Structure 1
Amino acid sequence: MKVLVVFCAVLALVYANWKPKTLEEWNKSRAECFESEKVSQRCQEELKRDEHPHECGCYFRCIGMKTGIWHDTNGFDIEKTHEALVATGWEVEKDNLKKCFSANPKEDDPCKWSTAVAKCVYENKYLKRKE
């Protein structure tokens, strides 16, 4: 029982210390992921136009890891993802994120898993730039 209490306390501390990245930090992470994941110029351009690219390798996992919204065991954290997207100029409903997160169960390959979730969000047009 003590272990459970300590675990919950540590989890609360970790979550409490998380805050969404600024747009500048997000863009820096994006550039780092483009490089580290060797994302093609075509995919980079599609992402910059807010389109879902089909061949971006592990980009979505990378950006999720760098911004603290992705974990290879649990996938995207709905609360953190929503907060991060809103903080960087997007309009998105949590319920729509939940639809994509639950419709794409965990895969052995976290790159494919994160890409499937992102594809759902993009293809259903759940993300819109704030005007």
Structure 2
Amino acid sequence: MKVLFGLFVIIGLALGATYYFGGFATMDPETQQKELLANVNLGMDWKDVVDYQAPRKVSEFAMKNQGGMKVLGKNVATEFKKDDLNDRVTNNKIGYGFVFTYKYSGSHITDVEFDTKGKVVNISHPTTMKDLLNISR
């Protein structure tokens, strides 16, 4: 019983240390999102956006058929690799543009959309569950 109690104490201390020293105690999704919006502007080059904050995922736009109509939509997000994207933008292999998605929490998501040349053309906030349920902070 004492061994089990000691084990729980050690696990608790390890989790506490991870929380405080791992940066989770100061993590504020709303502030991070506001800082991104303050530093990313229309017309910026994708490399400048990455220098400010690299995304985890990138999606390319593609034409899709929906009910017999062609609609521009996002492809499945893939892991962001700077060299791969640089090659695709430089060699004009991006058909309709691409999107960096920054997800700070379930209710703090920002899409930064780029044209085929790699310039920011739109910054938007996808609908989240918080929006659908009309939950205020």
Could you say whether these structures have the same fold, taking a TM-score greater than 0.5 normalized by the shorter chain as the test?
A: no
Higher strand proportion (structure 1 or 2): 2
Of structures 1 and 2, the one with the larger relative CO (CA 8 A, separation 6+) is 1
Higher helix proportion (structure 1 or 2): 1
